[in-house]
Structure formats: C-alpha cells, structure tokens
Amino acid sequence: MINNSLIQLKPNEKAIIGEIVNCGSARKRLYELGLNKGAKVTMVKNDIGPVILNLYGHKLALGRGLASKIIVG
Amino acid sequence: MNTIALVGNPNSGKTTLFNALTGSNQHVGNWPGVTVEKKEGKVTHNDTEFNIVDLPGTYSLGAYSEDEVVARDFILKDNPDVVINVVDATNLERGMYLTTQLLEMGTKIILVLNMMDEAKAKNIEIDIKKLSKNLGVPVVATVASKRKGLDMLLEESISYINKEANQRSIKSYGDYMDKEILHIENILEGSNFDYPKKWLAIKLLEGDMDVLNYIEKNVQKDNFERIKNITGKSQDFELEIVDKRYEFVGEIISSSVVKPEVEKVTLTDKVDKIITNKFLGLPIFAIIMFFIFQITFVIGSDLLGGYVATAIEMFGEFVLNLLEGLNAPELLTSFLVEGIIGGVGAVFEFIPLIVVLYFFLGILEDTGYMARAAYIMDGIMRALGLHGKTFISMIVGFGCNVPGVMAARTLENKKDRMIAILINPFMSCGARLPIYLVFIAAFFPDNGGVVLFTLYVLGIITALILGKIFSKTLFKGESSYFIMELPPYRLPSFRVVIRDMWDKVWDFIHRAGTIIFVVISLLWVLSILPLGVEPYSQESILGRIGTFLAPIFVPAGFGTWQATVSLFAGIAAKEAVVAILGMVYAGVSEGSQLTLALQSVFTPLTAISFMVMTLFYTPCAAVLATVKSETGSSKWAIFIALYPFVLGWIASVIIYQVGTLLGF
Ligand SMILES: Nc1nc2c(ncn2[C@@H]2O[C@H](COP(=O)(O)OP(=O)(O)OP(=O)(O)O)[C@@H](O)[C@H]2O)c(=O)[nH]1
Ligand SMILES: [Mg+2]
C-alpha cells in the first residue's frame, strides 16, 4: 500500500498532488479535472464513502480506491 | 447560416445560455451531465441569423464517456464557424484547460466567463481586457441565469466570425517534446488531413485512441508503424503535455485574475457537513423523498385533484346533454363521452399531481442536491457492483424513463452504462403515477403518500437488486472509479423550475392528446364492434381479445378482460392504462366515477397486485425505442420488453397468492 496517498489525509489537511499510479484511463481524467502534478488540494471529508476534496475552491468527490492511488507530497 | 457551438465543462451554464439566447426550453440542472445530446436553436441579432448548438459538457477533447463523444465529434467534424467556450468564472484554472485544447486545434473561439455573479461574491477579480489580450480571443463576461451579457456576446460573435483570428496557443512543449512533435509532423507531411498536422502530432503523443485510429486509416502502413514507434517510446508524453497546458493556463491567469488568499467558509460547506454526513446522509435523503411524495399527494390529489375531476365530470355531462339535445347519433355520443372524456379525460385528472411532483423534482435538481444523492448512494451502489452515478440516471427516470436511459451516457464504462439502462424502467415514471392514484383513491385514500412512497421504494430496491444480478452475470468486471464534482448549492431560479416543470406537464398533456387519443380511439372502435353488441361488453372484439388473454392474470388476481386490455394498451404509453379503464368502466356505474367502478371489481389485495404489475411490467414503446438506439441493438430492447413483464407477473402472483393465504 502507498502510505502517502490522498486517502491518508485528514479533514482540513492540505497537500500537493504528486504521481498518480495504476488507475488506467482515470489518470487522464484526473489531470483534466485539475489534479495534475503540483496541484494544491485540501481534504474536506474522509470517513466513509468517496473522499471530498477542495480543489481551487470547488468540491470534487473521488472514490476511495482511486484516492489511494494518488500520491501526495 | 453561421453555426455557433457552445462548448465547456459540465455545469458551466451552457444550456442556460443556450435557452437565454434562443428562447428554447432545454433542461437545466445544477449537476454535471444534464445535457447528453446536442440541441440546436436559432437567434437573430442585428439581421444576422445564427444556428446555435448546445453540446454536452466535456472536460477535454479526449472523449471519455458517450456524452463527451457527442461534444467532441461535433467540434471535430462539424466545423462550427465559431465556438463559444463557456467557462465557470469561479474556476478558470480548470475550465481553461479545455480552452487550451481548443486553441491547440486552431478552433476560432470566444471565451465566455459565465457565473460572474458568483465570481464577484467570491471576490475573484478578473481583468477581462488583459485576459483577452493574453489569449488573443474575445472575452465576454455573462450571468446566463440573469440574461446578462447576451447582447455583448452576440455582437462579439458577429464581428469575430468575419475577422481574421490571431489566437495564442502553446508555443513550445519543451525541447524534447517539440522534437518529437516535429518528427511526427514530418512523417505526416505529404498526406492531406482534416486537421492541422501539429495538432494530430500532439494528440498522438498524448495517446488519443480516436486520433490514432484516424491516422491508421489515412497514412501508409510503414508510416503508421514509424509513428507508433515514436508515441510508444514513453508513458510520460501525456504527462508532459498536460503539464504544459496547465502551465499555459497558469501563465495566462496569473496576470489577469486575482483570487483572495483565504477562502471564506461558504454556505455550501456548512450544508454539506450535514447533508453528506456519514450517519445523517441516507436518512435525510429518505426523508426528502418521502416528503416529496407526501406533499405531491396532499396538494396534487386531495387539494387540487378533486377540482379537476369535478370539472371533467361536469364537462362530460354538459357534452352529453348537448349531444342528446341535438339528437346526435348514439355512437358519436358514446365515442365522445365515454371514449374521449371518460378515457382521455381520466388522464387529465392527474395533471395537478404531475405538476406538483415535477415542481419538487425540479427543485431537487436545481439546488445541487442530485450530485449529493449520487455521493450518498455510492456506498450502497458500490456494494452492489454498481456505480454511484447510476443513481442520477435513476432519479431522472422518476420523471420519465426516456431521459433516464439517456442519462446513462455519462457513465464512462460500458458495463456501468448497460446496467444503468436496463434497470431504469423500474424507476416509476410520471406516466405510471395516474394508475397508482386511481387505485389509491379507490382503496387506500387515507394512506396515499405512504403507498406511493412504498411503490417508488419498491421500484428502487428492485432496480438495485437487478443491478447486482446483472453485474454478477451479464456484465462482469470492475465498475469505473467514482469521480464527480459537487457543484455549489444554488438557490433554484423560480423561472427555471417552472419552465422545466411546464415542459414536462406539457409533454404529458401532449401525449394525452396524441398517442393516448389514438390508442383510445382505436380501442373504442374495437369495443363497440361487431355492431349490435352491447358496447364495452365481453362480446365486443376488445372484450374477446381481453377474455382470451385474461387467464394469464388469473393467478395474480386481476384476470378480468378489462384489466388485461388496459395493461397491454399501456405498453403503447402508460397513461393508456387509466384511460382504458376509464373508458370501459365509464358505463358501469353512475357518471364517470372510475374509482367506484374499481371498488366493485378489485379488492385491496388485487389492487396492490395490479399496482405492482404496472410498476414492473414492460416499459412503454418510447422507452423500448430509446433502449434500442442507446444500446445499438434490438436484442436489448427485446430483453427489456420481456424480463420486466415476467418479473412483474411473478411479483403480482406472489402478492395475490400469499395475500389470499393470509386471508386478505
Ligand atoms: N449563479 C449563476 N448560476 C448559473 C449561471 N448560469 C447557469 N447557472 C446555473 O448553473 C447550473 C448549471 O447550468 P446548465 O445550463 O444546466 O449547465 P450546463 O453547462 O448546460 O451543464 P451540462 O449540461 O451538465 O454540461 C444551473 O443550476 C443554472 O441555473 C450564472 O451565470 N450564475
Ligand atoms: Mg447543459
């Protein structure tokens, strides 16, 4: 398991997006949504169900499986 | 005529702008993925006529789901004269990623910064002149929902169409990438393409499958191999290109947009804390739905429904007296009073209900709750092997299953999409509502809201269970990942809600006046033939057909020829069920009181069994046709015509048999 992925962030924690690994065509979709390398995000909700991120002041919900494949720095 | 296409991210306000410009009435909602097919309209400004095309929202030109393919194909193949690129002004960072791609392609664009009211509220300052200068394209600020900036936009369009464009684009993708781009461009040299060669080269390096297929068809085999050797060299080309695009966007924005450092905690944040809460989310959702049905019932049926019913009854008596006074032929009187007023009129009684239900569903859509519903349901959906977004297509299906089936286009993966299509008909549509209501009025007048809610929930649960079965049998494999924007909550605009509601109500009325009218007229003829028999009796042709088929439904408790005929007529359009019952029972009791007639032939148990059958059985012809066109195969249309029928039959037989055993 990747131990510095989005899924480890606590609510209100900020992070910078790094690599996105092993998720096929979803990677490109994430890039297009602004989750490219270097993007700044804030975790909004991370308990059950998809995580909710704040990206440029907008909310983005990502499935937990996917969130665990996004490495943050 | 000049063609203008509206292109932009989902939920950026394209359709709102389209409606405002063309005076159309296309569906608007505060969630991504409302529009799934292209729509056209016209507008004339200063003697120039434009053909305006509204497209589904898309995040990029690399298509991902079916609705995005529609947008992409239009931009690439239909060559609009100018593209109006609609961007949410509060989210330029992301919206302009698509802009960058349009610029790469050399498309002539006008940048529209929509939602300027929200940008202002967030204290985002945008220097429009500078932005325009940086990009080399006209930039217009709009508030589409308040019709602000429209004239300016049209004027820019007129002048830009006839002007030479001098748009900026990304100059360099880095030395290494530039070399590879040039390399591919050289290989492409000598052949003719519909697209700029540099753009093709970039798309190839980006790994765009459609462009790859296009190139394969249009270049010689050895050249194609050479290109594939280059693009196959690294996985990181895609990343490099994406980075360059964001760099370009960042550069443009940094000198023209100022965003406040610290973001305010918005109302959306506060509301979401409760609405998406892990314990409260689902109960709140259930309560909202329950109240919608309860209120629909109370206002639509108890409060208003009675007036319409009385009005129709009075009208019927008026016509009857009039015709009798005129000594009109008996057949004409029977056709008009029993067939048309008794039958088609029975459908009209439910207009108040439809109005109220659609009003509330409209509010649900426009506030931004839809996306949250999908979010909240994702857990359950995932456990069943379904995608959370399927739930949106399900809620859309409450209105009508045709848009419900089409809404499945937003699901990227084939498996998710097919399942969403196949389970949608179990979402009880507005046309089935009248059936429940006459039976509720006849047998459960005190618990209308509860019965209605239970039926809808039964539909949802059945859809979910079937989804699970399909994902284990017909369509194996993983669901795609859940990725969804949660738009800010917005105060529903009264105009939008009323307009969307009116659109659906009008559709309902229109269907009553067309397809239902035709079905009723045909069956009326069958019900009085052969001449000389008692009309609407078992001896009529209709009666005999019904009697022949009725044994199918004897085990379910409603094996009368009347019920049988109404069910089969309902396959043409579900409203026909009530219309037929209204017609054949119009003569049974005093006046046209359908409920009284039903009380004498159904029992509470058979009423339930019949309602469950109508909830489940074969969707109407329009849905079957949509399933055929959306799946591209008659096989699935036949499948969806048959299995719900069998399922409905089994369910109603069980209800009736078990209920009888228990002594109901
Ligand atoms: N505040 C504000 N809201 C707007 C504006 N324009 C549109 N909206 C709202 O934004 C939401 C989305 O509008 P649509 O027109 O459906 O967006 P769309 O781009 O067609 O969306 P898709 O069809 O999903 O791609 C609706 O709730 C509109 O009422 C605007 O200028 N200001
Ligand atoms: Mg739209």
Flag if A58 and B91 touch (Cβ within 8 Å): yes
Q: Is the peptide bond before B138 cis (omega within 30 degrees of 0)?
A: no
Nearest CA residue ID for atom 30, ligand 1: B115
Most A-contacting residue of B369, B482, B485, B489 (CB-CB within 10 A), to test interface: B482
Q: Which residue has the tokens 């059945």?
A: B462
Q: What is the pLDDT at residue B590?
A: 43
Indicate whether B588 pLDDT > 70.
no
Burial label, B370 (beta-carbon count in 10 A; 0-12, 13-18, 19+): buried
The residue-averaged pLDDT of A25-45 equals 89
- Chain segment B513-544, per-residue pLDDT in tens: 888 888 888 878 877 777 777 777 777 887 88
Q: Which residue has the higher pLDDT, B242 or B476?
A: B242
Q: What is the pLDDT at residue B262?
A: 73
Domain boundaries, chain A: 4-72
Instruction: Give the mean model confidence (pLDDT) for residues B253-272.
Output: 84
Task: Say whether pLDDT at A25 is over 70.
Answer: yes
Ligand 1 binding site (Cβ under 6 Å of any ligand atom): B 8, 10-16, 28-30, 32-35, 56-57, 114-115, 117-118, 143-145, 366, 490, 493, 496
- Select from B98, B89, B92 the least CA-distant residue to B71: B98
- Write out pLDDT tens, residues B327-359: 777 778 777 877 787 777 777 878 888 888 889
Element (H, E) at A54: strand A51-55
Q: How confident is the model at residue B270 (pLDDT cuts 50, 70, 90)?
A: confident
* Distance to chain B for A65, nearest Cα, Å: 7
- Whole-Å CA distances, B205 to B94, B184, B272: 22, 9, 41
- The C-alpha atoms of residue B638 and residue B645 are separated, in whole angstroms, by 11
Closest ligand (CA of B67):
1
B285 and chain A in contact, CB less than 8 A: no
In this predicted structure, the answer to whether residue B587 has a pLDDT above a threshold of 60 is no
* Selected residue of B483, B484, B485, B489 to mutate for chain A interface (largest A Cβ count, 10 A): B483
Domains observed in chain B? 2-161 (3.40.50.300), 175-258 (1.10.287.1770), 284-661 (no CATH)
Helix, strand or coil, per DSSP, at residue B210:
helix
How many helices (H) and strands (E) chain B has is answered by 32, 9
Smallest CA–CA distance, residue B435 to chain A, in Å, is: 37
Lowest mean pLDDT among B147-156, B217-226, B348-357: B348-357
CATH of domain A4-72: 2.30.30.90
Confidence class of residue B559 from pLDDT cuts 50, 70 and 90?
confident
Stated pTM of the model: 0.90
Ligand 1 centroid vs B53 CA: distance in angstroms?
Answer: 16
Cα B146 to middle of ligand 1, angstroms: 11
Which of B169-178, B292-301, B634-643: highest mean pLDDT?
A: B634-643
Task: For residue A65, list its beta bridge partners.
Answer: none
Measured between alpha carbons, how far is residue B115 from residues A3, B39, B75 in Å?
A: 39, 22, 24
Ligand 1 pocket mutation pick from B16, B24, B366, B485 by most atoms within 8 angstroms of CB: B16
User: Comparing B78-92, B257-271, B384-398, B491-505, which segment has the lowest mean pLDDT?
Assistant: B257-271
Distances (CA, A) of B387 to A70, B376, B384: 20, 12, 9
User: Quick one: pLDDT at residue B505?
Assistant: 86
DSSP summary character for residue B217? H
- pLDDT, averaged across chain B: 88
**Which residues are A29's β-sheet partners?**
none
Residue B216 pLDDT greater than 50, yes or no = yes
CB contact at 8 A, B67 and B420: no
d(CA B642, CA B653): 17
Range name among B154-158, B512-516, B572-576 with the lowest pLDDT average:
B512-516
Asked if pLDDT for residue B573 goes beyond 90, the answer is no
Higher pLDDT: B333 or B619? It is: B619
**Using a CB cutoff of 8 Å and minimum separation of 24, what contacts does B552-557 make?**
B552/B649, B553/B613, B553/B649, B553/B652, B555/B653, B555/B656, B555/B657, B556/B606, B556/B609, B556/B610, B556/B613, B556/B649, B556/B652, B556/B653, B556/B655, B556/B656, B557/B603, B557/B605, B557/B606, B557/B609, B557/B610, B557/B652, B557/B656, B557/B660
Name the CA dihedral angle for B570, B572, B578, B580, rounded to a multiple of 10 degrees. -100
Give the pair of three-digit tokens for residue B402. 């045709």
- Residue B459's pLDDT band (cuts 50, 70, 90): very high
Residue B96's pLDDT band, with cuts at 50, 70 and 90, is very high
User: pLDDT tier at B100 (50, 70, 90 boundaries)?
Assistant: very high
Mean pLDDT on B163-173: 88
**Which candidate from B239, B243, B482 shows the least CB-CB separation from A62?**
B482
**Per 3-state DSSP, what percentage of chain B is helix, strand, and coil (rounded to 5)?**
65, 5, 25
B521 compared with B444, residue with greater pLDDT:
B444
Residues 6+ apart with CB under 8 A from B154: B21, B43, B45, B46, B50
CA angle, B238 then B240 then B246, to 5°? 105
Q: Which ligand is nearest to the CA of B112?
A: 1
* Cβ-count burial B599-617 (b if 16+ within 10 Å, e if not): bebbbebbbbbbbbbbbbb
Residue-level pLDDT at B592:
47
B6 pLDDT tier (thresholds 50, 70, 90): very high
Distance CA A40, CA A18 (A): 10
Strand order in the sheet with B2-8: B39-45, B48-54, B2-8, B82-88, B109-114, B139-141
In percent, the amount of chain B with pLDDT more than 70 equals 98
DSSP code per residue over B41-68: EEEEETTEEEEEEE----S-SS--SHHH
At B589, is the pLDDT very low, low, confident or very high (cuts 50, 70, 90)? very low
CA B576 to CA B123: how far, in whole Å? 55
Indicate whether B122 pLDDT > 60. Answer: yes
Angle between helices B448-472 and B281-295 (to 10 degrees): 130
Query: Mean pLDDT across the stretch B91-97?
Result: 93
Structure token digits, residue B400: 């009508």
Which among B162, B199, B193 is positioned nearest to B2, based on CA atoms? B162
How close B165 comes to chain A (CA, Å)? 26
How high is the pLDDT of residue B576? 85
Q: Is the pLDDT of residue B604 over 70?
A: yes
- Ligand with the closest atom to the CA of B19: 1
Q: Alpha-carbon Rg of chain B, whole angstroms?
A: 29
B109, B167 Cβ separation under 8 angstroms? yes
At B241 the three-state DSSP class reads helix
Supply the pLDDT for residue B479: 73
User: How many angstroms separate the Cα of B457 from the Cα of each of B301, B378, B394, B429, B440?
Assistant: 20, 17, 12, 13, 16
Look at residue B390 in the predicted model and tell me its pLDDT.
Answer: 92
Look at residue B393 and tell me whether its pLDDT is greater than 70.
yes
The burial class, CB within 10 Å (0-12 / 13-18 / 19+), for B295 is middle
Q: Map residue B173 onto helix, strand or coil.
A: coil
Residue among B193, B192, B173 nearest B183 (CA): B173
* Chain A neighbors of B375, CB-CB under 8 A: 49-50, 52, 61
Looking at residue B591, its pLDDT comes to 42
